[in-house]
Structure 1
Amino acid sequence: MTTRPEPDPVATSDGSGGPASSGGEGVVARSSGRLRRRWAAGQPAVGVWSMLADPFVAELLGACDADYVVLDLQHGAATWADLPMLCQAMRAAGRAPLVRVPWNEPVHVMRALDCGAAGVVVPLVDSAEDARSAVRACAFPPAGERSWGPMWGDVRADGALPPAQQDADVLCVVMVETRAGVDAVAEIAAVPGVDAVYVGPNDLALGCGHGRATYRDSAAVDALLQQVLDACRSAGTVAGLHCSDTEMAAHWAGRGYGMVTTATDTTVLRHGLDAAFAEVAGRFDR
């Protein structure tokens, strides 16, 4: 349930020594605003997930027509040392990514935002207090506890926007993927400042005793995903889901999920190579 202020449209200077910039016109604001506009229109945001730590791949992803791109620092190849470079590569394509941080620690959230993320995806949120911790790390005082440290303040016009402007632009997405998280999902979804509750269905099934089952072969897993969706609807918060394919994304978007990830860069690369060499096999003796 988001309660952040609307971006200030008036050009301001924050007095930090960084350049002035008109509110809402930075790459972060444009990237997060794309999701917010779709949600406001009742349309799902469709995204892509990145496991790779390559700036060429990052720029390609940034230029694609996805509504959002998530850089995965929890299970992906990228490290904190890679993140500034990857954010810069996406920025060249006019995009600021979401970043899945490794853990729900304020220092991780703040570092991702300092590097240029449009928002964070915070894993393993099991309670309303966990969600409040993530929200506080996304906002400067007095709204939160984010530390001021504009990494790009001397580099670009939107590198040191006023604190309230940055608070308004950032997205805070929390992940529910355990039994404890599902049990507390109504309270989690109602935390002010949470923009979306995102489900990791693999961890959710494992954590709830269903192994590697999916909604396709388990009514219990289907019910868990529906429980999260119902809680988000009641709270007025977007429900998000990590999907294995476009069919899954279309199915759950049709049921009401507003944030669906449909592709992962490593999978796209593998499928592209398989298709290319299937064509090669038809033309050459292999």
Structure 2
Amino acid sequence: MLKTLIPSFCLFFLITISLAQTATDIIVLDAKASGSKLSMDKNTLKNITDRNLYDNQPNFINEKQLAFSAADDKGNHDIIIYNFESEKFTNLTKTPNLNEFSPAITDCGLYVSAVTVEEDGKQRLWLYPTNFGEPELLYDDIEPVGYYDWYDNRAAMFVLGQPNTLLYPFSKEDILSISQNVGRAVRKRPKTPIITYIDKNDSKEVNGEKVFAIKGYNIEKKTQHNYGYTLPGVEDFIWLNKNLLLMGKGEELLFRKANKTEWISAGNIEVNGYHSISRMAYSPKLKKLVLVMERSQ
């Protein structure tokens, strides 16, 4: 369980996390996204983690290392760094009174950011130096933060509320509200100033299930963009490159070009004892695709 001093408007985010905490692991395979194609070598599938606990929210922080949020047996969550060369793990945080989620590397490369649940229940964005120095609080008056991504040394943040809002702070006094009623996936489109997100105001039904629009906002030009719709029943997506989107549904991975409507199957990920792909991360330089899957009970 997370901290007990939780404001009521935080409950949706924290309940969502707790439902996934029982049994998720991080799995990796070799993959290459090129142009409009994705190829995967399923013979390289292997576990990065293998525990009956919460290992989730992976994000590459450089060509060698992956950061993720991990729970210990007391329910405390820290940021762990995995090195692909040494295959070793290092605690970036070890905070018994705080819980850290959603790690990402900042644009300057000097910090790993994380959504931190503080002792009083506040959820704010903190910066953890990669040299293991003292952490710093960012945007002290913006909370509760759920998810985010970086552009131009500023974080576009999903802030929980009624409704959930996507904010981008040009400065402390100039905070742009990009959209409201957004989903949990917030992703910068590679090599662009566009922050992409799921717009829950724009939905339709496909085979009896809802799909939501994937939209984008150009921070520089202040223009809106449309990138089609999600797969039915799922919300997590990533960009494999500037043009390719990837989602998982069940054990199947599907991709498509941002300007196309049809999702193309890349195949099923069959790992004994696992099901249900959720979060994903991809390194074009390392040519590794990382997946979070739920352990079968």
TM-score, with length taken from structure 2? 0.28
Q: Indicate the structure whose relative CO is greater, using CA pairs within 8 Å and at least 6 residues apart.
A: 1
Q: Whose strand proportion is higher, 1 or 2?
A: 2
